Structure 1
Amino acid sequence: MTSRISGFYKKSPEERLELISQHLNLSDEEKELMLGHSGFTVAQADRLVENVVGYLPVPLGIAVNFQVNGKDVFVPMATEEPSVIAAASNAAKQNIGGFFTSYSGSIMRGQIQVIGVKDPYGALARIYENKEAILEQCNEQDPTLVSFGGGAKDLDVQIIDGESEKMVVAHLLVDTKDAMGANAVNTMAEAVSPFIEKITGGKVVLRILSNLADQRIVRARGVFENPFKGDRDALENFIRAYELAEADPYRAATHNKGIMNGISAVVLATGNDTRAVEAGAHAYASVTGRYRSLTRWEINADDSITGTIELPMPVGLIGGATQSHPVAKLATKILDVETAEELAGIIASTGLAQNFAGLRALAGEGIQQGHMKLHARNMAVMAGAHDDEVDNVVKLAANQGKISYDNIRQIVLSLQENGGSH
């Protein structure tokens, strides 16, 4: 299978799906589900969340040209923002030799906050003295996870200086394997809290997972062709744009948002928790005490560009919407992944490609030129164009070299006043 399909963006949704289907042997039922002809219903939505009155469809596209750890993959991305999927696909096409990833493991933290402790450092020591009993009690809560080699593995106890007192915070370090693990960790934290209170003589307040998953780190590396064709100034501008994000939090916020355009789209497509991944990523960008870039970029001797990314990636293939949402389940099938580690690597690679595309545009023609061309279809609809008018409106605006809402609105009015198609 190759993920490099020439002219993929020029094909109709049905033609794209058929190409994907040929590679992945999707059934007719799965293709109908992907096209929205069957599948997700209000009844299913009502089982996922509360007070349901309907559901909000989000476009699901496929990023092509990706090879991760020697394996070609089609990357499903759920997003409402134009240019994100196109940018990721184009950047992956300029990647040399594929993306390569590493994974620190699937450890999540559960925090147990203890207040009212008279001897916080003594309490810290007593918690460590009772480590084995604490871990055993935690693992009794999830024998299935333990049977797969997961479960509570260690403790990390900290003294936190609060405004009114020193708090003891015990961290459960839990290997959640191929699950994101929030429910398992929270259950363990709640179950062991009475024992922690007995040990410390204090009162437990919070008992909950931390989304700063700093022991569940994914790293991805990719080498990209120099996109500037001998323009050394543009190549240097690429690096300077990255360096500003590394030094300045105002730029870093937008820089990292662009990375998350790609990451969140894959996380959402696979039914994982976008808020958990985003919170963890932005917290990790701040662990040095200053908010910084999640990526690093370097120019090689041949003027190719090496990019790396490092961030927490608390995603899974077990539980939650990943299994209960039919389209999310199908998206994981398209990815052809068997472990959370594989999924994390693909997601990080997508974020790295997205960042390359953003920096390339900033160092060259600017963000708006490409983005507005892809946004033109949306603007045509907003301006009142009918379905059979949209392509013509976009073409006319492009020919005029003026892609703005006001101009597109004038084109739509002119077509419709002159008897354009309805």
Structure 2
Amino acid sequence: MEKMGEKSSRIQDFHKMSFEEKLKIVKEFSNLSDEEVNLLKSMGSLDRKIAETMVENVVGVMPLPFSVAPNFRINGRDYLIPMVIEEASVVAAASNAARFMRDGNGIISIATDSIMIGQIYIYGVKNISFASQIIYENKDEILKLANETDKYLVNIGGGAKDVEVRAIDTRNYGKVLCVHLLVDVKDAMGANTVNTMAEKVAPFIEKLTEGRAILRILSNLADRRIVRTRAIVKKEMLGEEAVELIAMASEIAASDPYRAATHNKGIMNGVIAVALATGQDHRAIEAGAHSYAARTGRYTTLSFWEKDREGNLVGTLEMPLAVGIVGGSIKVHPITKIALKILNISTAKQLAEIMGAVGLAQNFAALRALTTEGIQKGHMRLHAKNIAVMAGASYEEAEKIAEIMVNEKNISFYRAKEILEDIRKKS
């Protein structure tokens, strides 16, 4: 029950209202100023009509910096890497790390075929083993039904390729039968395709097993869609002590889930920045990555660093990456289209290989900073301008304030305010 004077968020047919009507309600509900409303109205590079085709109830856009990381050489080819991220130092760190890894063909990154998993969970099956056998015997019919939903995908060599059956022990409902539909989605992320196929075959599987389909949806643990990446950093560039320290830090992370979580977050800084720039489902990527890191029953690292026989630092990364260059918002968002043009790629496999390479480079940069100067030095140097702006400085003032704070090695909000006051007194 609403209290006297309390505003209600229960708004009938809000989704049917015009953009201006929605914005007016948000303004009144949240006491926004005219200036704040005008900021929401300023859609920048994303046309409002496009935004409204992407999601419901649009009242603005949330811009993030779009950067480019140079120096990357991946599988013998040079790239400029588009990255969208708000965290200071990530783009600079990735660019610098790529410079260390340019020898020969640079970072080597290989992605598997684009196999996604659709899951159909069947409850109430009396004889799990017998039902599993029946499903396998009818595999061809299941695949035929699934592929009827997307003839174009089948014509270009994709589509449902195989069926697997698993039995799941649940706490309160006993054994549940899980049917995996393995689908090659080619250059798409694949969620809509796989979900449609799972829903199509579910009634037939119900008939075969005499059970009830409870769930029909893809899995974001895309462990059939893997990217494997490796790189070498020469000891002459890095120093023997740094090689040893990074290798040790990698082993610690692999052995301790508390450290592994932060180690993997460093990888995802690079991966997700490229994912945002190219219009990927970054939430699915995150879910798949962390699930894969825990696939043995204990959470560990997605990458590993060690010394080779010559004393160089060698790094490897293995993770699932469900990405696409067609479908969804990829061909709708104008900036996403520009990002893909900058990369100049023609397949989703290439995009996955690039993202794996950026993830490994970002991971190296973080480990190098951690084991040498400390993570905060470089990060806070780049963050100094943000702090100055938070203190009320204009862009020009922020540049001066950041330089002073870096030289003083005293980067803080309160110091920024002191310097800003001093600058304005003298002007």
TM-score under structure 1 length normalisation = 0.88
Which residue of the partner structure matches residue 322 of structure 1? 330
After superposition, what is the alpha-carbon deviation per residue over 1:128-148, rounded to whole angstroms, capped at 9, x for unaligned?
Answer: 111000000000000000011
The structural deviation recorded for 1:227 is 7.5
Which residue of the partner structure matches residue 331 of structure 1? 339
Which residue of the partner structure matches residue 43 of structure 1? 49
Which residue of the partner structure matches residue 355 of structure 2? 347
1:202 pairs with 2:217: no
Q: Secondary structure at the match of 2:395?
A: coil
Which residue of the partner structure matches residue 197 of structure 2? 188
Identity across matched positions, percent:
52
CA contact (8 A) 1:94 1:224 kept: yes
Q: Secondary structure at the match of 1:198?
A: helix
CA contact (8 A) 1:138 1:188 kept: yes
1:166 partner amino acid: K
CA contact (8 A) 2:43 2:60 kept: no
Which residue of the partner structure matches residue 110 of structure 2? 102
The structural deviation recorded for 1:55 is 0.5
Which residue of the partner structure matches residue 55 of structure 1? 61
The structural deviation recorded for 1:231 is 5.2
The structural deviation recorded for 1:38 is 6.6
CA contact (8 A) 1:228 1:235 kept: no
Take 2:238 and 2:146, find their aligned partners in 1: how far apart are those partners? 58
Q: Secondary structure at the match of 1:321?
A: coil
Q: How many residues align?
A: 383
The structural deviation recorded for 1:278 is 0.6
The structural deviation recorded for 1:102 is 1.5
Which residue of the partner structure matches residue 90 of structure 2? 84
CA contact (8 A) 2:243 2:312 kept: no
Take 2:426 and 2:168, find their aligned partners in 1: how far apart are those partners? 71
Q: 1:65 to 1:214 in 2, by over 3 A?
A: same
Residues 9-408 of structure 1 aligned to structure 2 (within 5 Å): 39-95=45-101, 96-97=103-104, 98-163=106-171, 164-226=173-235, 230=239, 232=241, 234-408=242-416
The structural deviation recorded for 1:228 is 7.2
After superposition, what is the alpha-carbon deviation per residue over 1:138-185, rounded to whole angstroms, capped at 9, x for unaligned?
Answer: 000000000110000000110001112100000000000011110000
CA contact (8 A) 2:100 2:237 kept: no
Take 2:273 and 2:149, find their aligned partners in 1: how far apart are those partners? 33
After superposition, what is the alpha-carbon deviation per residue over 1:241-282, rounded to whole angstroms, capped at 9, x for unaligned?
Answer: 111110000000000001000000001100010001110000
Take 1:400 and 1:39, find their aligned partners in 2: how far apart are those partners? 39
Shifted more, 244-253 versus 38-47: the winner is 38-47
The structural deviation recorded for 1:409 is 2.1
CA contact (8 A) 1:213 1:314 kept: yes
Q: 1:124 to 1:327 in 2, by over 3 A?
A: same
Q: Which runs of 5+ in 2 are unaligned?
A: 1-41
Q: 1:166 to 1:227 in 2, by over 3 A?
A: farther
CA contact (8 A) 1:300 1:306 kept: yes
Q: Which runs of 5+ in 1 are unaligned?
A: 1-35
Take 1:145 and 1:231, find their aligned partners in 2: how far apart are those partners? 51
TM-score under structure 2 length normalisation = 0.87
1:322 partner amino acid: I
CA contact (8 A) 1:235 1:363 kept: no
Q: 1:37 to 1:167 in 2, by over 3 A?
A: closer
CA contact (8 A) 2:116 2:182 kept: yes
The structural deviation recorded for 1:225 is 3.0
The structural deviation recorded for 1:361 is 0.5
Q: 1:113 to 1:401 in 2, by over 3 A?
A: same
Take 1:244 and 1:343, find their aligned partners in 2: how far apart are those partners? 30
Which residue of the partner structure matches residue 19 of structure 1? none
